[in-house]
Each structure stands twice: as C-alpha cells, then as structure tokens.
Amino acid sequence: MLPGPLVALLGHIPFIIASSLPTEYTAMAISDDNYGNKLVFCHFMAWHSGIPHWIGASDYDDDMKRAKYVGIDAFALNIGTDSYTDTQLGFAYQSAANNGMKVFI
C-alpha cells in the first residue's frame, strides 16, 4: 500500500512547470532526457505534508525516494513567502541532489 503523502502526491499529476529558480541555484532544462523521452514532473507542496517545519534535507528523502521509485523525474516545488521558505528550499534541493531527483520552482 502506498503511503498517504505519496497517494496525495500522485493525485497532482499532470503537473505544473515553472521557469524561474532562485539565483543561488543553477537552472537547467528538464523537459526531455538525453534520449528525447518526456520526463514526469509532480507538484510538491512540502508545507502541506503535516510537518510544517522540517529541520533538514533528510526530512525530504522518503518523498524523493518514493517518487523516483514510481517514475517521477522531478518535483515542481510550491513555495510561499514564509520566513522558513529559503531554508526549506535548500533542504529540498539538497535532498534531491542526494537522491538523484530534479527539483525546480
């Protein structure tokens, strides 16, 4: 049985693609892989996960691993203007790098 957050996550496909990234991150095209295959994106709302203030990149790891396992290539990260947004973005980007996922805002 799929975990609750993953079921909610899969319910958001089709997905939203955004084009801007914070200046401290390197932008890259992620619409096709090197073979011309379409990639699968999923809208990710970390702050609606039931854990409003995750404290490290490892808090994102399970979601990154589950998404990769079911064939999702990247998360479109939902962000807000809260005081913890920049910190949470850093955690999400670090977890994605640690788990072979792509993320963008």
> pLDDT by residue (tens digit) across 59-77?
889 889 999 999 999 999 8
Q: How many CB atoms lie within 10 A of CB 37?
A: 9
- The reported pLDDT for the residue numbered 31 is 57
- The reported pLDDT for the residue numbered 100 is 92
DSSP codes of every residue in 67-101: HHHTT--EEEE---SSTTHHHHHHHHHHHHHHHT-
pTM reported for the whole predicted model: 0.60
Average pLDDT, rounded, for the chain: 71
Residue 98: pLDDT band (50, 70, 90) is very high
- The reported pLDDT for the residue numbered 33 is 60
- Relative to beta strand 41-44, strand 74-77 is parallel
Report the distance separating Cα 34 and Cα 85, nearest Å. 32
